[in-house]
Amino acid sequence: MVKAQHLPNQTPSILPLKLQGACVKRRGHTLIGPVDLTLGRDGFTIILGPNGAGKTTLLRLMHGLERPSAGRLDWNVPEVQARAHQAYVFQHPTLMRRTVVDNVAYPLVIHGAPRALARARATEALAQVGLSEHVTQRASALSGGERQKLALARALIRRPEILFLDEPCASLDGAATRDIEAILNRAHANGTRIVMITHDLGQARRLARDVLFIYKGRLHEAAPADTFFDGPATAEAQAFLNGDILL
């Protein structure tokens, strides 16, 4: 894995990220909020909640793909600087009509890296996610799990300080899920702050250091993982963990 460590005294951390009364509204309907939340510099945050609760909207809001309709989001640095040090992986990643290596090299190339250096860095990143045999292959020929590994290598190659992920293991088999989790754990160990949505409670228990539980567009609970899974503070969260249908 391309290491996400940050050199001391090089630049200030973009974290914490503070949300104060942040809302996203559309056509008069509140999709998420108001949310008050602080994301610190370290952590592996799992976002849980029933379908339609607002999880993806919250993730997009934090990354900047959604603008707040009310309230505010503040990084520790100017927003333009914060954007350069974060990445987002979609549930279904968009791949360019290029080779695997050129897909991964692209973020470096558009930020001014020489193409040869970018491709060398991309080749190394692909080896670290288990895609060495696919470097010259067309990205469109990859399997679902391989596409997600490519997306992770591409997201991590610029060493983001924070990585947002929207159900990266949805529809993947057990072996691919295990590989993705290993990549994420290595990235976190190397210094990348992770915020991730999943519907897989087993995965949440394996990965989470802390949990955000979203229900009806509100941040219903925020707690350390052990506290949340051992004894959630609300009946709604307990019902969700029990597999009950929340209306």
Model confidence over 53-97: pLDDT tens digits? 999 999 999 999 999 999 999 999 999 999 999 999 999 999 999
Residue 197's beta-bridge partner residues?
Answer: 47, 166
DSSP state string for 128-176: HTT-GGGTTSBGGGS-HHHHHHHHHHHHHTT--SEEEEE-TTTT--HHH
Looking at residue 6, its pLDDT comes to 45
Q: How far apart are CA 183 and CA 104, in angstroms?
A: 15
Given a contact cutoff of 8 angstroms between Cβ atoms, the answer to whether 47 and 80 are in contact is no
Q: Which residue has the higher pLDDT, 8 or 24?
A: 24
- φ, ψ of residue 132 to 5 degrees: the values are -60, -35
Model confidence over 111-156: pLDDT tens digits? 999 999 999 999 999 999 999 999 999 999 999 999 999 999 999 9
Top-level class of domain 17-242: alpha beta
Instruction: Please report, in angstroms and rounded to a whole number, the separation of the first and last CA atoms in the chain.
Output: 41
Looking at residue 4, its pLDDT comes to 44
DSSP 185: H
Phi-psi label, residue 141: left if phi above 0, alpha if psi -120 to 50, beta otherwise: alpha
Query: Domain locations in the chain?
Result: 17-242
Given a contact cutoff of 8 angstroms between Cβ atoms, the answer to whether 30 and 53 are in contact is no
Q: How far apart are CA 47 and CA 61, in angstroms?
A: 13
Question: Per-residue pLDDT for 197 more than 60?
Answer: yes
Q: Is 193 exposed, middle or buried (0-12, 13-18, 19+ CB in 10 A)?
A: buried
